[in-house]
Structure 1
Amino acid sequence: MNQTKVNTVTGQIMPEELGITLMHEHICYGYPGWEGDQTIAPLDRESVINNGVEALLKLKALGVKTYVDATANDQGRQPEIYKEIAEKSGVNILCSTGYYYEEEGGSAYWNFRSTLGDISDELYELFYTEVTRGIRDTGIKAGVIKVGSSKGEITEYEKRIFLAAARVQKETGVPIITHTTEGSMGPEQAKLLVEAGADPKRIQIGHMSDNLDINYQLETLKYGVYVSWDRMGLQGLAGCPMDEQRYDVLAELIKSGHADKIMIAHDYIITWLGRPLKIPEQALPLIANWYPTHLFEHVIPALKERGVTDEQIHTIIADNPRRLFAGE
């Protein structure tokens, strides 16, 4: 089975129905362990829904039709909530199956199971089931497989997840999207997935905006994968460069013939799960533009100032997501 239809939280659509798409965002997000703090900070379903609808309606007014939620199984994924937000906003939402990188993900469970035997088939079974049958008893099918690697390495635990994702992608056609840590391992991720038999036309290597070395970008692109500059607006934190530094490199990539392999998003989190964050005052200017309309308000104008055309921008924000899901 090599599907051409796209799993959204409200049902299947064709790739050409995706329209303008943000390929790596979050409706809600919680680091593993947030669940144990719910006595003090319970999940506020109504707040998550209201915040999500408000944000997606703003994006809809700017022409966005699809929002890919890259929240993996160990990051507080809430598919039933996503479905309600999609129905109320009229924006397509895709949710993920998969696991985050080892240090900040749900690795304890799987590492324990791996002491009892090989977990490869179990991971495959989970991802395959969530793509083809649905998540838990919701009937909501995952539209992408999300995987991640550590800073400077892909650990043995992470390799098992990557290989399970590649196996499911080969059988279902569902795209793989990735997390890279602090601008590292993009080429290695692409190589691992492609050598495992995954279709490079259905792979998006993420957080490429964290590394401004043009050779790193080209080394990743040589595998035929898509690259996602998807932390725009997130600056000076978590290993992220400043947007003003990013624009020149991104424009150079686009104008040198790679527009058909690039996507842009923010990795934005609409609602944090758990206790409210206490962000240091000195950090606030660094994330002043970290919100999902930043692409339209600042990123696109900055690229156009650097000679990027409207046609190239449309390729990046609309054509490329469609092609990723169509396997083109």
Structure 2
Amino acid sequence: MAKMVNTVLGQVAADELGKTLMHEHIFFGYPGFDGNSLYQKDRTELVKLGVEAVNVAKSQGVQTIVDATPSDSGRYPDLLREVSEKSGVHIICATGYYYEGEGAPAYFKFKQGLGIAEDELYELFMGEITNGIGKTGIKPGVIKLASGKDSISEYEELFFRMGARAQKVTGIPIITHTQEGTMGPEQAKLLTSEGVDPKKIVIGHMDGNTDIHYQLQTLEYGVYVGFDRIGLQGLVGAPMDSERIIVLLGLINSAYANQLTLSHDKVNVWLGKAPEFPDDLAELTRNWEMDHLFKNIIPELEKHGVSKATIDSILVDTPKNIFNV
């Protein structure tokens, strides 16, 4: 019998998720965005923009989107619920926080300094997963954890350990952020050493690293790795899609297709003032949309011999299995 998955509209059987993008952001703002009163969109505009973005993925047959936005970066579960209602696409939201370098709120830093952060953080994870986020009643379907480039700080490790503790009780998957594709094996080792089933772990943004041996080192822990920044090139150390395709093909041809997830990490609606990229970066990221995978990357993989059945397995069977374990 299929397990039930928390979506923003309530529980859905894992078998009914269908084609799934495992790491996207319908709304996202770096912590502090809400302090800029000059660039605040109203609810109606946000929902409209969110629906338009989700419909781009829906046009490619996507039935479920995992919105990996952490709670300190513009996670609006009530808006996601309305977007899901209007678009007809399942949306799974997250509980968790961003990595220290770009997200650490003074609130938990202060509590950590006093040595009293652990219990409150665990209480937060458990409370949201079991009772819902705030007064919305919406329960997250994944735990989001993150670390910075080339290290997992003491602050970030605290979140990993409490996230692992909550995962073991609730059973919902963990998805992570690796900065520039670093610390993948270390994240996998930390979480599995805390007792998390590797089949409930997706180490995210691993396509930031084009060393296939590094990928294999992470995969050896039995976890999934996310090639989930497709289309994001030139920013935050991201390689070219052409380089990612080479590594993807190597992993698929080495029988690791069943441990891969695909997505874009697309920021569809920037909260606060949207960044203005210089012309060269704007050109590099022009395909960074939630249909890019289907329009440009999958045809390239198929051209190199990857079967439709394998692609369907990565996009349909793997997400189902992650939520079904």
TM-score (norm 2): 0.98
Deviates more, 1:41-50 or 1:220-229: 41-50
- In the alignment, structure 1 segments of 5+ residues that lack a partner are none
Match of 1:180 among 178, 196, 201: 178
Report the Cα offset of residue 314 of structure 1: 0.7
The whole-number CA distance in structure 1 between the counterparts of 2:83 and 2:207 is 28
Q: Deviations over 1:102-142 (max 9, x none)?
A: 01013322111112223111111101111111000100001
Aligned to 1:255: 253
Secondary structure of the structure 2 residue equivalent to 1:192: helix
**How far 1:275 moved relative to its partner?**
1.3
Deviation, structure 1 residue 252: 1.1
Aligned residue number for residue 106 of structure 1: 104
How far did 1:250 drift?
0.4
1:10-29 to 2 correspondences below 5 Å: 10-29=9-28
Q: CA deviation at 1:61?
A: 2.4
The CA deviation string for residues 265-324 of structure 1, in whole angstroms up to 9 with x for no partner, is: 000011000013222122111101100000100010111111111111011111000000
d(CA) in 1 for partners of 2:57, 2:97: 27
- Give the distance between the partners of 1:86 and 1:276, measured in 2 at CA: 23
Matching of residues 305-324 of structure 1 within 5 Å:
305-324=303-322
Give, in whole Å, the separation in 2 of the partners of 1:70 and 1:193. 18
Q: Supply the distance in 1 between the matched residues of 2:55 and 2:183 (Cα, whole angstroms).
A: 35
* Partner SS state of residue 249, structure 1: helix
**Which letter does structure 2 place at the counterpart of 1:27?**
I
Q: Describe the SS at the equivalent of 2:202.
A: strand
| Alignment partner of 1:65 out of 63, 66, 74 | 63
On the 8 A contact 2:26/2:53 being kept in 1, the answer is no
Q: Is the 8 A contact 2:26 2:54 kept in 1?
A: no
Relative to structure 2, which stretch is displaced further, 39-48 or 153-162? 39-48
Q: Which residue of 2 aligns with 1:44?
A: 42
Distance 1:302 1:44 in 2: 40
Aligned counterparts of 1:169 and 1:148: Cα–Cα separation in 2: 15
Conserved? CA contact 2:31–2:73, under 8 Å: yes
The secondary structure found in structure 2 opposite 1:159 is helix
After the TM superposition, which segments of 4 or more aligned residues of structure 1 sit over 4 Å from their partners?
A: none
Q: Say whether the 8 Å CA contact 2:198–2:221 is kept in structure 1.
A: yes
Who is 1:303 aligned against?
301
Report the number of matched residues: 324
Quote the Cα distance in structure 2 between the aligned partners of 1:269 and 1:284: 14
Deviation at 1:54, TM superposition (A): 1.4
Q: Per-residue CA shift, 1:145-200, capped at 9, x if unaligned?
A: 00000100000000010011111110011000000001200000000000001111
SS at match of 1:129: helix
User: Following the alignment from structure 1 to structure 2, what is the Cα–Cα distance between the partners of residues 131 and 159?
Assistant: 20
| Aligned position for 1:206 | 204
Q: CA deviation at 1:47?
A: 2.1
Aligned-residue CA RMSD in angstroms?
Answer: 1.1
Q: Return 19-28 or 115-124, whichever deviates more.
A: 115-124
* Corresponding residue of 1:242: 240
| Counterpart pick for 1:197 among 183, 186, 195 | 195
What is residue 6 of structure 2 aligned with on the other side?
7
**For the residues of structure 1 that align with 2:150 and 2:156, how far apart are their CA atoms?**
12
Partner-residue secondary structure (3-state), 1:103: helix
Fraction of identical pairs, as percent = 53
